[in-house]
Amino acid sequence: MPLEGIRIVSFNHFLMGPFGIQFLADLGAEVIAIEPIQGAFQRHWGGDNAKKAGGETTLDLVANRNKKSICLDLKNPAALEIAKKLIASADVVAENFRPGVMEKLGLGHEALKAINPEVIFASASGFGADGPYVDRPGQDMIAQSLSGLAWITGKTGEVPRLVGTSAVDHHGAMIFAAGILGALVKKTRTGKGARVDVNLFSAALNLQAESLVCYFNGKKPEGSQQPAHIGSWYHEAPYGIYATADRYIGLSLGSLDVTLEALGIVLPFETDPSDAFVRREEISSIVAEKLREKPFAQWASALDARKIWYTQVNDYDDLAEDPQVKHNGDLVQVESWNGDPITLVANPVRYDGKTAPIRLVPQKLGAQTAEVLSELGVSEAQQQMLAETGAIGLG
């Protein structure tokens, strides 16, 4: 495994932090996830009525595989000392508390460098380590709304629309993982640690790089919301999703003239190449009306014959049966810690043709507390005493 031998001590909760660190755990890093005695937020997401599988909330299942779980009350001096011993052995310490929380715990970057001068300190936050928004809560919906992502996802004249998943959390997690990997490369070359800072707000902007660069360069468009059928404000007709007689179809990039020919459409006006954008709403409305006349399979044959890019639009049940999903092994069925079957999404990277394995399913809270403390030389008797005082939680 690429990261075998790398130890990451993770103080992460919710989604962006845990998901980014899970990516590194998938690649072989030993991740020790430190959680409070009652468990991190993701174990309680949704409250008493939360959807659960395999003994855990579904949010916990998303981003906590291949990690060891230990419970420490970091406000307890004895537990804090245990955390510091782990940090002394770590290559990376990762956290996504609000700025200043690690410092209040005595675990800020400067304090960690005194314990482990070569450590990589990786911090994920809502808006960054400083600035006018530093004290604001950072969360995916907030980032989508503030960054313009919800605005450009909405249709012209309608209420701005959130993307149908925590897109910024997921994208931010990959930036978090990439930033840590970059710091690990530097450490390999120089022997020096680094501080890595990633924030949700900047991740939301990065996710829109194509849109933002198109918008702010050249002639500024009249607006940045999607026309009725077009998939973005900066694409031409007929790029977007349409209803056929029996299901939805997505029309991708391609020649407008060839696409219209395939669909049997003769426009009621003369066109030139610029009209694919300038008259896109008018053209896409005609395309939408035509596509409703036949089922998807008939349109697919016509589009295939002219090598036009298109796709069926899958719902999640369709996705589970998609032949490429099955071939790639993107949805993985495993047994949870309590024996129940659960479905996880595989790591998307292959090394030497192999997908990163699931070595540990998301673990029961504190499942490895005893194991990790024993490795630190804490006896069973000492562990029991620490548990009785509330400093640690034994799974």
What whole-number distance in Å separates Cα of residue 26 and Cα of residue 296?
39
**Given the residues 91, 130, 169, 197, the one annotated as active site:** 169
Opening angle at CA 140, ends 178 and 50, nearest 5: 110
Bridge partners (DSSP) listed for residue 67: 31
The DSSP code sequence of 266-316 is: --SS---TTHHHHTHHHHHHHHHHHHTTS-HHHHHHHHHHTT--EEE---H
Question: Among all chains, which residue has been given the structure tokens 């918008």?
Answer: 215
Bridge partners (DSSP) listed for residue 80: none
Opening angle at CA 2, ends 97 and 368, nearest 5: 50
* Structural contact between residues 170 and 140, judged by C-beta atoms closer than 8 angstroms: no
Characterize the bridge pairing of strands 7-11 and 240-243.
unpaired
315 is catalytic: no
Bridge partners (DSSP) listed for residue 345: 331
Question: Among all chains, which residue has been given the structure tokens 């916990």?
Answer: 60
Q: How far apart are the two ends of the chain, measured CA to CA in Å?
A: 28
Pair of tokens at residue 236: 């031409």
Question: Among all chains, which residue has been given the structure tokens 């069926």?
Answer: 312
What whole-number distance in Å separates Cα of residue 118 and Cα of residue 197?
17
User: Please, how many CA atoms are within 13 Å of residue 56, restricted to the half-sphere of its CB?
Assistant: 29
* Structural contact between residues 193 and 40, judged by C-beta atoms closer than 8 angstroms: no
Characterize the bridge pairing of strands 248-251 and 310-312.
antiparallel
Catalytic positions: 169
